[in-house]
């Protein structure tokens, strides 16, 4: 979940403009040196400190601190007076805004620390000023704003360089000044967020934490209580000339309340605070979208992510809307749309923070599109990239877990590919040897991920609890993690979740998992009863839950196969293919197809195609799709055009063509293409891109 650091800084600038307009409108002019009451003047001789203050302050009016010329202006200001904080502030903020990696944020720390220390040294009395008198507040409010901007940037530098202990010390330091307007530094809110972000650590690692996730979450909530009390205490001071401060700062508390309640699956409370933010005009569309996805409302989630994509400030961090939108595309059986979005984000982000996450998203989308070798390549690229987790509660443990789980699934699918590519694989020694090797690799990967997983204190909240707020994988990926381990334990767990989870639309997913685990125990008749009940479920949003339907149809087909119900198996396989064809080659079951060949048929290509695990049928009573293959050209321009229609003549695989040379390789590739694996994106999906 995202923080609101940049939003807070921009809000502070807006507050500057509003307060300046109000104050100067009342006073009739800008304050001069002699207007500053003696008790608020810097602790230096007046003839030295005031001229440099007003000279530099005048120069600042022609150069915005967030502009591209902030760095050269910082050098100019330091040449005029290097003991004054403004030059160091300009340098530090510029370096922070342009940081793209660990070193960049680290380089911004020194000038920001120096600016903060100089501000505290020269303007301690101004920083400590609390007043309801506008004339008294005018001379000091700009100093307080500058302080909070510096502190906010420094806090984020510490956070982005994995120094949460220094973050917390800085927040306590900011609280010392007891500002009546928090501007860019809602210290208590950031304390809550820092505790939540590091919730899985204990007091032994960081002394600002307690010793369990529950205790840390309670502590974070207490900090938000303190934030609300501070707002109420400051209200009498601000309401005369800063009437919007209370509502603006309450919105910040609501934002972090949402994060905590969503994480705790406190659906009613989270919904209430999202509604309060919506009424206040500050709904965080990205976080709200994730919350709706957690609740199983994928249609609303997609809509909110699209709004987030248009309103995102575009700073150099992971754009969560993009990452999670690729998962929604997978749920919709449109992995190619996810591939395109992930590639677009990689191109636009370059090797800045978020790059690794987008590679994970691309790997996952390729995997669900059946492009396993490509999926492996991008998972490895993500593993080799040093990702910075900026402005999000998603950390390195989430990142590594997502990669390792993708690696596990691709290894299992590589094993299934041997079954698909060789119909009679049990008679082929070389294929059996390859499958044995791949099975060993899968077991090794399972061993590695389970060892990592066993150390994760969040597994009950984020993994076993499907659609968790902090989850970075799809619900379907979790199946590959739990399906081979402690079957009865997970049956009991998922049945309990199905009966007690407050998220009505999510219960069916737990029921599906429990039924499939019963199949692992050989209880096919019992599992079939559960699956049949799920097929009658009325709360399925079909366009957005095609992956759920596909896994349900797959499980029905597997049960029918074991129970020798051939007619039922054919029917369920047909539904699976029509719904999500890319999944079929990795199920271990053969799809019925009616083959239509025309043109200059190459017998070697067709022979290799027919050696794959596909049932080529001609009986019209058997549910089957119609595969059309057209050979054309010759020599170096040999082309195959292909497409697949369902029984009603609708396209499942759109018409497309490719050139080829080697018959053996082409026959295998063509088999995958008949399941819409690889190939071009349908035009309809292109038109509805982000």
The two structure tokens encoding residue 501:
């989870």
Contact 363, 382 (CB under 8 A): yes
Report yes or no on 232 lying in a domain.
yes
pLDDT at 298 over 50: yes
pLDDT at 39 over 80: no
Q: Which of 260, 283, 306 is the last residue of a domain?
A: 283
Q: Smallest Cα–Cα separation from 16: which of 86, 64, 85, 76? A: 64
525-530: long-range pairs with CB below 8 Å, 24+? 525/563, 527/555, 527/559, 528/556, 528/559, 528/560, 528/563
What pLDDT, on the 0 to 100 scale, is given for residue 26? Answer: 37
Distance CA 577, CA 530 (A): 22
Distance CA 104, CA 107 (A): 5
pLDDT at 354 over 80: yes
Report yes or no on 669 lying in a domain.
yes
The two structure tokens encoding residue 660:
């080829």
SS3 268: helix
Q: Smallest Cα–Cα separation from 398: which of 309, 334, 462, 342? A: 462
* Residues 83 and 221 placed together within one structural domain of the fold: no
What pLDDT, on the 0 to 100 scale, is given for residue 688? Answer: 44
b/e burial code for range 98-117 (CB count within 10 A of at least 16 → b): ebbeeebbbbbbebbbbbbe
Report yes or no on 487 lying in a domain.
no
What pLDDT, on the 0 to 100 scale, is given for residue 237? Answer: 93
| CATH code for the domain of 663 | 3.30.160
The two structure tokens encoding residue 560:
């029918």
| Residue 623, φ and ψ in degrees, nearest 5 | -60, 115
User: How many other C-beta atoms can be found within 10 angstroms of the C-beta atom of residue 22?
Assistant: 16
* Residues 601 and 682 placed together within one structural domain of the fold: yes
* Residues 162 and 258 placed together within one structural domain of the fold: no
DSSP 391: S
Contact 194, 168 (CB under 8 A): yes
Tokens 């204990």 belong to residue: 202
pLDDT at 50 over 80: no
Identify each DSSP E strand in 184-284 by its residue range.
Answer: none
631-637: long-range pairs with CB below 8 Å, 24+? 631/597, 631/598, 631/599, 631/600, 631/601, 631/602, 631/605, 632/599, 632/600, 633/600, 633/659, 634/600, 636/661
If one counts the domains in the chain, the total is 3
* Residues 13 and 105 placed together within one structural domain of the fold: yes
State mean pLDDT over 24-34. Answer: 41
Distance CA 323, CA 305 (A): 10
Report yes or no on 343 lying in a domain.
no
Q: Which of 224, 257, 283 is the last residue of a domain?
A: 283
Separation in Å, CA 321 to CA 9, 273, 277, 326, 526: 22, 20, 19, 9, 40
What is the model's pTM? Answer: 0.88
* Residues 202 and 157 placed together within one structural domain of the fold: no
SS3 591: strand
* Residues 60 and 163 placed together within one structural domain of the fold: yes
* Residues 160 and 208 placed together within one structural domain of the fold: no
Q: What DSSP assignment string belongs to 596-632? A: EEEES--HHHHHHHHTSSEEE---TTS--EEEEEEEE
* Residues 86 and 173 placed together within one structural domain of the fold: yes
DSSP 459: I
Tokens 């079909």 belong to residue: 542
pLDDT in tens, 405-464: 999 999 999 999 999 999 988 788 888 888 888 888 888 888 888 777 777 788 788 888
H runs (alpha helix) in 1-69: 5-27, 46-60
State mean pLDDT over 533-551. Answer: 96
Report yes or no on 145 lying in a domain.
yes
Distance CA 326, CA 541 (A): 18
Report yes or no on 608 lying in a domain.
yes
State mean pLDDT over 267-281. Answer: 94
Separation in Å, CA 333 to CA 291, 303, 345, 566: 21, 17, 20, 26
- The arrangement of strands across the sheet holding 614-616 comes to 614-616, 591-599, 625-632, 639-645, 651-659
Distance CA 431, CA 421 (A): 10
- Percent of the chain predicted with pLDDT > 70: 90
pLDDT at 20 over 70: no
* Paired strand residues for 597: 629
Q: Is 38 or 470 the better-scoring residue by pLDDT? A: 470
Report yes or no on 434 lying in a domain.
no
Contact 127, 119 (CB under 8 A): yes
Contact 402, 472 (CB under 8 A): yes
DSSP 254: H
Q: What DSSP assignment string belongs to 91-159? A: HHHHHHHT--SHHHHHHHHHHHHHHHHHHHHH-HHHHT---S-HHHHHHHHHHHHHHHHHHHHHHHHHH
Q: Which of 310-324, 377-391, 670-684 has the highest mean pLDDT?
A: 377-391
What pLDDT, on the 0 to 100 scale, is given for residue 463? Answer: 81
What pLDDT, on the 0 to 100 scale, is given for residue 557? Answer: 97
User: How many other C-beta atoms can be found within 10 angstroms of the C-beta atom of residue 122?
Assistant: 20
Q: Which of 218, 251, 283 is the last residue of a domain?
A: 283
Q: Smallest Cα–Cα separation from 375: which of 400, 355, 353, 403? A: 403
b/e burial code for range 262-291 (CB count within 10 A of at least 16 → b): bbebebeebbebbebbeeeebbbbbbbbbb
Sign of CA dihedral 219, 224, 225, 229: positive
* Residues 23 and 170 placed together within one structural domain of the fold: yes
pLDDT band at 92 (very low <50, low <70, confident <90, very high): very high
* Paired strand residues for 595: 627
Sign of CA dihedral 460, 462, 465, 466: negative
Separation in Å, CA 396 to CA 196, 385, 388: 15, 12, 8
* Residues 4 and 36 placed together within one structural domain of the fold: yes
* Residues 75 and 140 placed together within one structural domain of the fold: yes
pLDDT in tens, 214-263: 999 999 999 999 999 999 999 999 988 889 999 999 999 999 999 999 99
Structural domain for 597, as ranges: 590-687
Contact 332, 546 (CB under 8 A): yes
DSSP 211: S
Report yes or no on 170 lying in a domain.
yes
User: How many other C-beta atoms can be found within 10 angstroms of the C-beta atom of residue 489?
Assistant: 12
State mean pLDDT over 320-333. Answer: 96
Q: Is 132 left (phi over 0), alpha (psi -120 to 50) or beta?
A: alpha
pLDDT in tens, 130-169: 999 998 998 888 899 999 999 999 999 999 999 999 999 9
pLDDT at 404 over 80: yes
Distance CA 138, CA 19 (A): 9
Mean pLDDT score of the chain: 88
pLDDT band at 76 (very low <50, low <70, confident <90, very high): confident
Contact 660, 640 (CB under 8 A): yes
* Residues 6 and 69 placed together within one structural domain of the fold: yes
The two structure tokens encoding residue 530:
């559960």
What pLDDT, on the 0 to 100 scale, is given for residue 35? Answer: 47
Tokens 């009613």 belong to residue: 268
């Amino acid at each position: 979940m995202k923080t609101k650091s940049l939003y807070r800084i921009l809000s502070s600038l807006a507050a500057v403009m509003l307060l300046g307009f109000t104050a100067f409108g009342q006073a009739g002019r800008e304050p001069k040196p002699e207007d500053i009451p003696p008790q608020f003047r810097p602790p230096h001789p007046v003839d030295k400190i005031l001229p440099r203050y007003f000279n530099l302050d005048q120069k600042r009016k022609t150069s915005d601190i967030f502009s591209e010329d902030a760095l050269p202006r910082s050098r100019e200001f330091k040449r005029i007076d290097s003991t004054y904080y403004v030059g160091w502030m300009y340098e530090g903020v510029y370096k922070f805004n342009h940081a793209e990696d660990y070193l960049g944020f680290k380089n911004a720390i020194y000038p920001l620390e120096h600016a903060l220390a100089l501000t505290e040294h020269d303007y301690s009395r101004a920083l400590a000023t609390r007043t309801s008198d506008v004339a008294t507040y005018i001379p000091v409010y700009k100093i307080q704003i500058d302080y909070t901007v510096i502190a906010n940037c420094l806090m984020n530098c510490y956070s982005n360089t994995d120094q949460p202990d220094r973050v917390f010390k800085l927040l306590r330091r900011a609280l010392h000044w007891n500002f009546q307007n928090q501007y860019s530094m809602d210290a208590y809110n950031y304390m809550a967020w820092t505790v939540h972000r590091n919730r899985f650590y204990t007091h032994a690692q960081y002394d600002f934490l307690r010793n369990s996730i529950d205790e840390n979450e309670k502590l974070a909530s207490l900090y938000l209580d303190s934030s609300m009390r501070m707002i109420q205490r400051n209200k009498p001071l601000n309401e005369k000339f800063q009437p919007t401060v209370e509502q603006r700062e309450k919105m910040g508390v609501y934002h972090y309340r949402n994060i905590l309640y969503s994480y705790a699956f406190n659906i009613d409370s989270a919904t209430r605070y999202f509604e309060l933010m919506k009424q206040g005009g500050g709904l965080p569309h990205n976080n709200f979208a994730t919350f709706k996805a957690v609740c199983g409302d994928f249609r609303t989630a997609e809509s909110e992510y699209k709004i987030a994509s248009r309103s995102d400030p575009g700073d150099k961090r992971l754009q969560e809307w993009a990452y999670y939108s690729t998962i929604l595309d997978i749920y919709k059986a449109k992995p190619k749309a996810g591939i395109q979005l992930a590639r677009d984000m990689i191109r636009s982000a370059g090797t800045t923070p978020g790059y690794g996450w987008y590679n994970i998203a691309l790997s996952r989308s390729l995997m669900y599109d059946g492009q396993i070798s490509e999926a492996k390549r991008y998972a490895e690229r993500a593993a080799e990239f040093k990702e910075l987790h900026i402005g999000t509660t998603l950390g390195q443990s989430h990142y590594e877990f997502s990669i390792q789980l993708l690696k596990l699934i691709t290894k299992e699918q590589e094993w299934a590919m041997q079954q698909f590519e060789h119909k009679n694989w049990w008679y082929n020694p070389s294929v059996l040897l390859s499958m044995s090797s791949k099975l060993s690799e899968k077991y090794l990967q399972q061993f590695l991920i389970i060892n990592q997983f066993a150390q994760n204190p969040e597994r009950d909240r984020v993994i076993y609890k499907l659609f968790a707020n902090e989850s970075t994988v799809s619900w379907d990926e979790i199946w590959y993690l739990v399906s081979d381990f402690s079957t009865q334990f997970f049956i009991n767990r998922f049945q309990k979740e199905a009966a007690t989870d407050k998220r009505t639309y999510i219960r069916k997913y737990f029921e599906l998992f429990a039924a499939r685990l019963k199949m692992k125990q050989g209880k096919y008749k019992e599992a079939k009863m559960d699956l049949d009940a799920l097929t009658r479920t009325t709360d399925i949003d079909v366009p957005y839950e095609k992956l759920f339907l596909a896994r349900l149809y797959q499980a029905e087909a597997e049960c029918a196969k074991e129970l020798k119900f051939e007619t039922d198996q054919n029917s369920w396989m047909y539904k699976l293919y029509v719904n999500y064809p890319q999944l079929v080659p990795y199920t271990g079951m053969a799809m019925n197809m009616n083959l239509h060949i025309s043109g200059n048929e190459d017998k070697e290509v067709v022979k290799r195609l027919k050696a794959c695990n596909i049932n080529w049928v001609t009986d019209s009573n058997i549910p089957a799709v119609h595969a059309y293959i057209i050979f054309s050209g010759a020599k170096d321009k040999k082309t195959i055009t292909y497409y697949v229609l369902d029984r009603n003549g609708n396209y499942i695989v759109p018409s497309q063509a490719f050139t080829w040379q080697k018959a053996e390789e082409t026959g295998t590739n063509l088999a995958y293409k008949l399941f819409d694996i690889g190939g071009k994106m349908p035009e309809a999906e292109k038109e509805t891109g982000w």
